[in-house]
Structure 1
Amino acid sequence: MKHIFLVFIAVLQLFGATVKSPIIGLNEDLSEVSIKVDNIDVGVSGFVVHEIVKDKRSILANAVVKSFDPVSKIAKISVSEFNSLSSSALPNGKWSIKLGDEVVLAFGYTRGILIAPNEEIYHRITKNSSLQWVHPDLFATMLSFNGHPTPLRSDFLQMSIDNSVGLVFVFLQNKVYTIDAKSFKILAITDAALEQKEAKLPFYTRVQEINAAWWGEGSSRLKEYEPHYYELMIKANSDNKELYDIVKAGGKELQDLLEEFEIKG
């Protein structure tokens, strides 16, 4: 358990405070901008902020770290439409991203949710952490409203937006995966040697039953714990060699997932 506590401490140290930096470069179609920062991980998400007038700001776009050069300290940031606060009652501006606008990263990284197979593992991982844990009951209630007894990537995104959750932690086969809740990029993989006696599906929650929609993606009952969460991670991390090696060594039930990686061999 010592290693698990250390990773939470590291997460708080690296991401406990938001990272803010002005844009120093941008491409023609405004799909990518550059900032200078001491250190940042690929996959960290945030947004681009534009100052309309003094002390009046507006969020213009979502932002995700695409690459980071530790020598030049330049991070390339992929930007996309920001629609988390879409409402016909809110005013719409016609501002565009420009040099000097601020990129805010790691927003909400002091709040996390843990996906665990049972109550014992959930409490052993979370009990000594200073992270602000959002209880999985809240996520399960949201899934029931959506009719998704099998959680989708879009459900995690909605949970992140609705509850200002920056990090998702997933326990799988004696490891804890630290994931950006919006980009779903893996930020860290930590050993967690905990005996798994049982698995409650789709994850540990005190919610007795998650309602299912009549049809559509996510409406089926989850039959196996590990394959589903590995598949969700692979879709957003298909070039992650460490994840590839873990899945490759994970048993026969995971071998079909190897085809979803960009890495071969």
Structure 2
Amino acid sequence: MKQASTKLFLAILALFTTTILSAQTTVCYKKDWTSPSTIDKVKLDGGMCQGEASFLDMKKKGWKLKDIRITSSKKGLNYQYILTTKTVLRFDNKKFVASNVTPGTLTFNTIKTQLTNVTKNSAIINIGNLRVGQSGIVIKTYDDGQKIIIANAYVEATNDTASKVKFLRFEGLKQNALPNSKSIVQENDTLILNYMYDKSLLIAPSQDAFIVTRAKFRNNTFLHSDIFAAKLKADREPLPSKTTIQKFAKEQNLGTIFIVISNKVYIIDSKTFAVLDTFSLAYNYLDTDRMPFYTRITGIEESMIDSVWKSIKKLSILKDLFGDDERSEEEILLEGEMTKDEIVNKNDIYVDYYKTILGLK
């Protein structure tokens, strides 16, 4: 039955990849891989890879990583890469971590400043030496004193004296029953950087790492990982993708995500997924790290048949893909499988998984 389900999954994945997705988006995969450290170099199947190109090969051809799904199998791990030629809001976290920025210097306090040289998509602020990918909100104040959030913004470039910020649509308080503001960003509107940076999600490999991190950052309010795990269990998603992590953080109005990998905690902006800072962390290492992270929730699993049937139903109407549907193609198409309680793995799997998601490999 399991073998038949796998064949059905591959057949449907191939069909949907070639007939539904545009030429600018492709899905490549590798099943039952047992060496996580070499996955970037192995030839991938499906999509535009067709067993002839690795992830690194596709990057050289101009393809960008939009998201990645990794699920467990009896023989190893299943990898599914969502690649696109479209512009992706993605930052070079590997370059930042290797840079000469002094670790542990990020402030979680909000920074308020006025926007100057405003264009349709960007503006200048007179604050330098910020982190590329650092984000905030733009507030407009009306003549009667009323205020409204009209946009998100993130640091696109910075020098010693000033920074360029780029605007994004604000969806933190999205409510379909209410109209959206039609206000546009103008000169002297207020930018509040580090918005909600002290409200955080913590992903840690063990209870000790979890406790040590919370103690080190006692001024931050951490949403317990059990709540995230309960969400994953309800959605039948054993291993959270980058998209899933960001979506959850947005729903919970969290400004930062803390991910503990080996002896470091990486602090990530929840809107841009840019690494903002790293801190060294001393905790008791275990022989195994818990996947997907430390939580008291057990039995996060997914049924292959349910996933395939759900995909068929969701793709029955094309407007679900190309209309006003908020789901992305990969959220609809890519469904893995993991049997009950198969969430404890060797340390290198945890490390490789989250380094891959953060773009550190």
**Normalised-by-shorter TM-score class:** 0.7 to 0.9
Match of 2:82 in 1: none
What amino acid is the match of 2:141? E
1:23 matches 2:120: no
Identity %: 26
Q: SS state of the match for residue 290, structure 2?
A: coil
Q: Given residue 231 of structure 1, which amino acid in structure 2 is its aligned partner?
A: T
Structure 2: gaps spanning 5 or more residues:
1-102, 309-332
1:43 maps to 133
1:66 matched to 2:146: no
2:267 aligns with one of 174, 178, 200: 178
**Runs ≥4 residues deviating over 4 A:** none
> Is 1:143 aligned to 2:232, yes or no?
yes
Query: What's the counterpart of residue 163 of structure 2?
Result: 75
Find the counterpart in structure 2 of residue 157 from structure 1: 246
Query: Paired residues, what number?
Result: 222
Aligned pairs for 1:1-265 (under 5 A) are 10-11=105-106, 14-15=107-108, 17-27=109-119, 30-37=120-127, 39-70=129-160, 73-130=161-218, 131-194=220-283, 195-212=285-302, 214-215=307-308, 216-217=333-334, 219-221=336-338, 224-234=349-359, 243=360, 257=361
Alignment RMSD (CA, Å): 2.3
Shift of 1:48: 1.5
In 1, the alpha carbon distance for the partners of 2:179 and 2:266 equals 39
What is the TM-score of this pair, normalised by structure 2? 0.56
| Structure 1 position 145, deviation (Å) | 3.0
SS at match of 2:115: strand
Partner SS state of residue 240, structure 2: coil
Q: Is the 8 A contact 2:256 2:267 kept in 1?
A: yes
Q: Which amino acid aligns with 1:76?
A: K
Partner Cα separation in structure 1 for residue 121 and residue 162 of structure 2:
16
Which is further off, 174-183 or 81-90?
81-90
Residues 116 and 123, structure 2, Cα contact 8 Å, conserved in 1: yes
Please state how far the C-alpha of 1:206 moved relative to its aligned partner: 0.7
Change (3 A) 1:115 1:205: same
Return closer, same or farther for 1:145/1:84 CA change in 2, 3 Å cut-off: farther
Could you tell me which runs of 5 or more consecutive residues in structure 1 were left unpaired when the two chains were aligned: 1-6, 235-242, 244-256, 258-265
What is the identity, as a one-letter code, of the residue corresponding to 2:124? S
**TM-score, structure 1 normalization:** 0.75
Cα distance in structure 2, aligned partners of 1:199 and 1:39: 36
The Cα shift of 1:64 comes to: 1.0
1:88 CA drift (Å)? 3.1
Give me the whole-angstrom Cα distance separating, in 1, the residues matched to 2:151 and 2:302.
33
Q: How many angstroms does 1:107 deviate by? A: 1.0
CA distance in 2, matches of 1:218, 1:150: 11
**SS class of match (1:170):** strand
In our comparison, the structure showing a higher alpha carbon Rg is 2
Q: Deviations over 1:34-63 (max 9, x none)?
A: 111255222111222222343212222221
